[in-house]
Chains A and B, each alone.
Chain A
Amino acid sequence: MSSTFDTVANIIAETCDIPRDTIKPESHAINDLGIDSLDFLDIAFAIDKAFGIKLPLEQWTQEVNDGKATTEQYFVLDNLCARIDGLVAAKGA
Chain B
Amino acid sequence: MRLEYFQLIDRIIELDLDARTVRAHAQVPQTSTIFEGHFPGYPLMPGVLLIESMAQASGWLIIGLTKFERMPFLASVREAKLRTFVLPGQVLTLTAGIVHEGSGFTITKAAVEAGGKTVANSEITFRVTPFPHPKFRAGMEQVAAAINFPLTARG
Pair B107/A45 contact, Cβ less than 8 Å: yes
Indicate if A41 sits at the interface (CB-CB under 8 A): yes
User: Which A residues between 12 and 49 are near B, CB-CB below 8 angstroms?
Assistant: 38, 41-42, 44-45, 48-49
* B104 and A57 contact, CB distance less than 8 A: yes
Query: How many cross-chain pairs have Cβ atoms below 8 Å apart between A and B?
Result: 35
CB distance A45 to B102 under 8 Å? yes
Q: Is A59 interfacial (CB-CB < 8 Å)? A: yes
Residue picked from B76, B100, B102, most chain A C-beta under 10 Å = B102
Interface of B is mostly: strand
Of A38, A58, A61, which is within 8 A of B75 by CB? A38
CA distance A57 to B103 in the complex (A): 5
CB distance from B69 to the nearest CB of A (A): 13
- Contacting residues, chain A, for B131 (C-beta < 8 A): none
Q: B58: which A residues are within 8 A, CB to CB?
A: none
- Closest Cβ of chain A to B23, distance in Å, is 25
Write out the residue numbers on chain B whose beta carbons fall within 8 Å of the beta carbon of A48. Answer: 100, 102
- Tell me which residues across on chain A come within 8 A of B76, comparing CB atoms: 38, 41-42
Cβ B100 vs Cβ A41 within 8 A: no
Q: Confirm or deny: A92 has a beta carbon within 8 angstroms of a beta carbon on chain B.
A: no
Residues on A with beta carbons closer than 8 Å to the beta carbon of B101 = 54
Q: How many angstroms between the C-alpha atoms of A54 and B102 in the bound complex?
A: 6
Chain B residue at minimal CB-CB distance from A55: B103
Assess A58 versus B103: contact at CB under 8 Å? Given A38-B76, A41-B75: yes
Given contacts A38-B75, A38-B76, A41-B125, contact A61 B102 (CB under 8 A): no
| 11 A-B residue pairs with CB within 8 Å | A38-B76, A41-B75, A41-B76, A44-B105, A45-B102, A45-B105, A54-B101, A54-B102, A55-B102, A56-B103, A58-B103
